[in-house]
């Protein structure tokens, strides 16, 4: 099995529950002979992902910051990004957080739900655009083949705020 992980959560900081959870799970999966991982770093990493012979880190990077405002550069990047991932291949896409957009959802995908604080508490933190974040989360959940909640409370909150098939939730 070949799993592609985006390392978005590793850009937030070197420590934290999400990074710790993925370090543990990727390391444990890496002990299996039939497991191969491709770690996709969408931006500069603040944390260090696990390493093993069957874990590879992608050399493909996000469009450089100075080029991001330009529509033509973004369009060319998206085309190249899609081609890169089609060539790399994979069986499962498992983002570490909620990706804003990803062609990798064409693969079977697993999305983790850590909490629903932004749904429960308006302006829960200093995030600049809460509504956009909730829409990104909604899109990721809609595209997921499997959703993993970190607790029963989180699963109950998920059902309260999102219309999601209970069959795909664990």
State the pTM of this model.
Answer: 0.84
- 3-state SS of 7-76 is CHHHHCCCCCHHHHHHHHHHHHHHCCCCCEEEEECCCCCCCCCCCCCCEEECCCCCCCHHHCCCHHHHHH
- Other CB atoms within a 10 A radius of the CB of residue 144 amount to 23
The predicted-structure confidence for 113-156, as pLDDT tens digits, reads as follows 999 888 888 766 666 777 888 899 999 999 999 999 999 999 99
pLDDT along the chain (170 residues), means of 10: 90 86 94 92 82 85 66 74 77 90 84 90 71 90 96 97 96
């Amino acid at each position: 099995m070949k799993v592609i992980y985006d390392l978005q959560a590793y850009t937030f900081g070197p420590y934290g529950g999400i990074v710790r959870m993925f370090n543990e799970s990727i390391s444990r999966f890496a002990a299996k002979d039939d497991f191969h991982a491709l770690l996709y770093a969408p931006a500069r990493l603040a944390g260090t992902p696990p390493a093993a012979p069957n874990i590879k880190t992608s050399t493909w990077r996000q469009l450089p910051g100075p080029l991001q405002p330009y529509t033509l550069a973004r369009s060319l990047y998206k085309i190249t990004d899609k081609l890169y991932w089609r060539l790399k291949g994979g069986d499962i896409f498992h983002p570490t957080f909620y990706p804003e957009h990803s062609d990798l959802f064409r693969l079977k995908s697993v999305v983790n739900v850590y909490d629903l604080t932004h749904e429960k508490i308006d302006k829960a933190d200093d995030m600049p655009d809460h509504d956009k974040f909730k829409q990104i989360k909604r899109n990721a959940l809609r595209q997921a083949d499997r959703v993993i909640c970190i607790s029963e409370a989180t699963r109950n909150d998920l059902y309260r705020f999102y219309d999601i098939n209970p069959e795909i939730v664990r």
